[in-house]
Amino acid sequence: MTAIINHIDTSETERLIIKILLDLFITFAKIGAMTFGGGYAMLPILQREIVEDKHWGTEQELADYFAIGQCTPGVIAVNVATFIGRNKAGNLGGIIATIGIVFPSIIIISLLAGIIKTVEELEWVKHAFAGIRVCVCVLIFNAVTKLFKSAIIDKKTLCIYIAILAGSFAFNISPVIFVILAGVAGVFLKS
């Protein structure tokens, strides 16, 4: 009898793990398929899916993932998917979420690669791309606005924001340097 109960428990655990991994893959594949315009354009969709719909993290956690994703190698949305997947289901969850978010792009790019050269000079295609770029700007602006509201929580973080903003206009250096400087400033100012 105990062997049957243990088998049922193991079987249920395996089903639960598969369900979580499948949910990660489908969620991030949906994000990857519905986002045009690159990693930054995915930020508002990630926020809606991860924080509002799935409740896999808070606004603050997602802002932290965005910050870490920005200063690590790779596309920010892919990095964020990896962090969330790993947080939800360990290393395998990170791998599955990463595969999920890039899978639609691989399929779409593979299909478009053969025809893009033949249609990119068409006038209506140029106009479509111009419209898409404007839309992506709005999506990025919305994501930045939400991040701003959750990141600027007091006068000290506002000072860090102003200093980094001014520095980014004044100096042409790697964003990683700004992230490190902001982190150091945060430690000193918030201590």
Region of poorest pLDDT, from 6-20, 21-35, 83-97: 6-20
Residue 8, pLDDT above cutoff 70: no
- For residue 166, the model assigns a pLDDT of 94
- For residue 179, the model assigns a pLDDT of 85
- For residue 3, the model assigns a pLDDT of 47
The rounded mean pLDDT for the chain is 85
For 89-101, b/e burial (b = at least 16 CB within 10 A) is: beeebbbbbbbbb
Residue 36, pLDDT above cutoff 80: no
* Model pLDDT for residues 154-177, shown as the tens digit of each residue: 999 999 999 999 999 999 988 888
Residue 43, pLDDT above cutoff 70: yes
- For residue 9, the model assigns a pLDDT of 62
- For residue 68, the model assigns a pLDDT of 83
How far apart CA 106 and CA 86 sit, in angstroms, is 22
Residue 7, pLDDT above cutoff 70: no
Q: Inter-axis angle of helices 59-71 and 175-190, to 10 degrees?
A: 130
